Amino acid sequence: MKKSLQFIPFFCLLLFNAVAQQPANNKKGKLQFKISFASPVSEQPLTGRMFLVISRTDSIEPRLQVGRYGTQFFGVDFKNLQPSKEVIVDGSTLGYPVNDLKDIPPGDYFVQAVLSKYTEFKRADGHTLWMHMDQWEGQDWRRSPGNIYSKVQKISINQSADQSIKLQADQVIAPIQVPADTKWVKHIKIKSELLSKFWGQPIYIGATILLPKGYNENPDKHYPTVYEEGHFSLAAPFGFKENDKNQFYKDWTTDDFPPFIAITLQHPTPYFDDSYAVNTVNNGPYGDAIHKELIPEIEKQFRCIREGYARLLTGGSTGGWESFALQVLYPEFYGGTWSFSPDPLDFHNVEGINVYEDKNAFYKEFEWYKTPTINTRFWATGDARLTSQQRITMELVNGTKGRSGGQLDIWSAVFGPIGDDGYFKPLFNKETGVMDTSVARYWKENFDMRYYLEKNWTTVGPKLVGKLHVFAGRMDDFFLNFGVYHMEDFLTKTTNPAYNGSFNYGERGGHGWRPYSSGQLIREMAAYLKKTHPDIN
């Protein structure tokens, strides 16, 4: 988490309130947009989703404002669209944060269209899906190479008159430029045979490797590794920057800094910018691909200590869940985890939704009344920032059938079963909020980490002693601290063996709270290794 364009800040409530205060107008006209793509960018018909973005400013392109300022946008699917044929955005098209085009306040705006292309995946399980193929951008339709967008156009909206506005997508987003290798930072990208077979299309995974000081000068020395899990990024681990020479650069390049090889992995899926690094029925065998294809290739090319005790894990949010889950599911492959603000380790609170007890994802139901379920809060005050219904609507506008690239959709793709149509079976109805108890049971049996450890502690526990270290702010913006509480409740009561790890909390910490810097974290990891394996160099 939180990309969501799960990384979307939620200033949209302000816009929603502004719209609610507009006076009623009984003489509203019909507003529509007609969007096409030009034949020079594609002679072939395309399938995908068309986005219309409406912004108040053109300080940056409107498409790049989506997910940053709560900018208004609409989305509509299309199939086999011919060049110059039009996709219509009108009053029947769902938008966000304003849901209906007729409720856009009159005024001057900047508009832009983006065509997100879908690829046909004929999967090995017999299902055929149309989804967006990641182009090494991290599942982001706003900037995905090959997607087509229009020039920015300034318009005036007058809701009292009929308006039909035409836009043509004729600009193609350029390929991503992978950073060049340097003395310190290296890159790997491989075709995964396992994932390509599953998806029926070439699927690539990769890694960015940060080498320790003295690596080239000591050709016979092997090093422990730290895997920093998290969202798709081509940047160096831990924010290492050679040009800026930031604090972590200064730490990493000092003579007395513990020598590690630091690694971040790239494993985007057609559902999200990150697979969650486990095998799932919807995403495919990403766990196998990482552990049987990618990590062996990394350890072949670089002088890593190829022992479980010397592979350490860390990460925050999505990476917090991954680092914890990988340590639990591969208890001997890794030697310890330091997991920060992990996505739900227990499903009693999934961004406000109680998967096991709530009847509806949109609200909490009491004897005489209902209250909206809060999805996100302002950590400093605890005030509501976004409701569950608003968040779910936002993802639905980004993509139908779970193709939003958003947080709730990827959790459903990872944690949930396959639906009859080949896309994941949703935990709840996105229009009504009604929960599906059969899907909730699947989530529990397969990916509730607390439940997994409760069932398997006698066999898994002995392999995890001293390895689990979890950190969370008690005012986590997305309520992720509650999953940590539930995990702590179980682990602190374990015997035969006792888990012998640690939980640390920031009393007023929000999402991403950390008690120390990346440099301090690695020093703590080094001390842990020295304690558990005194002979390590």
Tell me if 273 sits within 8 A of 414, measured CB to CB.
no
How sure is the predictor about 8, in pLDDT bands with cuts at 50, 70 and 90? Answer: very low
How sure is the predictor about 21, in pLDDT bands with cuts at 50, 70 and 90? Answer: very low
Considering the domain architecture, whether residues 134 and 250 belong to the same structural domain is answered as no
Considering the domain architecture, whether residues 229 and 299 belong to the same structural domain is answered as yes
Query: Within a domain: residue 357?
Result: no
How sure is the predictor about 29, in pLDDT bands with cuts at 50, 70 and 90? Answer: confident
What residues have CB less than 8 Å from 401, skipping those under 6 apart?
421, 423
Q: What is the pLDDT of residues 253-263, one digit of tens each?
A: 999 999 999 99
How sure is the predictor about 243, in pLDDT bands with cuts at 50, 70 and 90? Answer: confident
Query: Within a domain: residue 428?
Result: yes
- Looking only at the bridges linking them, the beta strands covering 95-96 and 72-81 are antiparallel
- Looking only at the bridges linking them, the beta strands covering 225-229 and 204-210 are unpaired
HEC profile for 369-426?
CEEECEEEECCCCCCEEEEHHHHHHHHHHHCCCCCCCCHHHHHHHHHCCECCCCCECC
How sure is the predictor about 19, in pLDDT bands with cuts at 50, 70 and 90? Answer: very low
- Of 446, 462, 480, the position where a domain reaches its end is 446
**Beta-ladder partners of 33:** 89, 165
Q: What is the pLDDT of residues 463-507, one digit of tens each?
A: 999 999 999 999 999 999 999 999 999 999 999 999 999 999 999
- pLDDT in the model for residue 170: 97
Query: Within a domain: residue 392?
Result: yes
- Looking only at the bridges linking them, the beta strands covering 107-117 and 148-150 are antiparallel
Considering the domain architecture, whether residues 193 and 78 belong to the same structural domain is answered as no
Query: Within a domain: residue 224?
Result: yes
Considering the domain architecture, whether residues 386 and 374 belong to the same structural domain is answered as yes
Query: Within a domain: residue 249?
Result: yes
Query: Within a domain: residue 178?
Result: no
Query: Within a domain: residue 537?
Result: no
- pLDDT in the model for residue 27: 65
The torsion angles phi and psi of 192, rounded to 5 degrees, stand at: -85, 115
- pLDDT in the model for residue 70: 83
Helix (H, G, I), strand (E, B) or coil at 468: strand
User: What is the CATH classification number for the domain harbouring 321?
Assistant: 3.40.50.1820
Number of structural domains (the chain) is: 3
Token pair 């971040």 in the structure block, residue: 264
Considering the domain architecture, whether residues 224 and 272 belong to the same structural domain is answered as yes
Mean of all residue pLDDT scores within the chain? 94
What residues have CB less than 8 Å from 28, skipping those under 6 apart?
102, 159, 160
- pLDDT in the model for residue 16: 42
Considering the domain architecture, whether residues 437 and 452 belong to the same structural domain is answered as no
Considering the domain architecture, whether residues 206 and 340 belong to the same structural domain is answered as yes
Query: Within a domain: residue 180?
Result: no
Examine the pLDDT at 117 and tell me if it is beyond 70. Answer: yes
Structure tokens at 459: 């066999």
Examine the pLDDT at 31 and tell me if it is beyond 50. Answer: yes
Considering the domain architecture, whether residues 203 and 338 belong to the same structural domain is answered as yes
- Of 390, 413, 446, the position where a domain reaches its end is 446
* Region 303-324 average pLDDT: 98
- Of 419, 446, 473, the position where a domain reaches its end is 446
**Beta-ladder partners of 313:** 227, 337
Considering the domain architecture, whether residues 334 and 429 belong to the same structural domain is answered as no
Token pair 């991403």 in the structure block, residue: 512
Provide the residue range defining the domain that includes 384. Answer: 363-446
Considering the domain architecture, whether residues 369 and 442 belong to the same structural domain is answered as yes
Q: What is the pLDDT of residues 328-380, one digit of tens each?
A: 999 999 999 999 999 999 999 999 999 999 999 999 999 999 999 999 999 99
Tell me which of 6 and 536 has the higher pLDDT. 536
Token pair 């302002």 in the structure block, residue: 378
How sure is the predictor about 4, in pLDDT bands with cuts at 50, 70 and 90? Answer: very low
User: What is the CATH classification number for the domain harbouring 91?
Assistant: 2.60.40
What residues have CB less than 8 Å from 428, skipping those under 6 apart?
353, 360, 361, 392, 434, 435, 436
521/500 Cα distance (integer angstroms):
19
* Region 176-183 average pLDDT: 95
Q: Is 261 left (phi over 0), alpha (psi -120 to 50) or beta?
A: beta
Considering the domain architecture, whether residues 11 and 125 belong to the same structural domain is answered as yes
Examine the pLDDT at 22 and tell me if it is beyond 60. Answer: no
Q: What is the pLDDT of residues 266-292, one digit of tens each?
A: 999 999 999 999 999 999 999 999 999
**Beta-ladder partners of 73:** 53, 96
Q: Of 12-16, 233-237, 391-395, 421-425, which gets the smallest average pLDDT?
A: 12-16
- Inter-axis angle of helices 437-447 and 449-460, to 10 degrees? 30
401/406 Cα distance (integer angstroms):
12
Considering the domain architecture, whether residues 145 and 212 belong to the same structural domain is answered as no
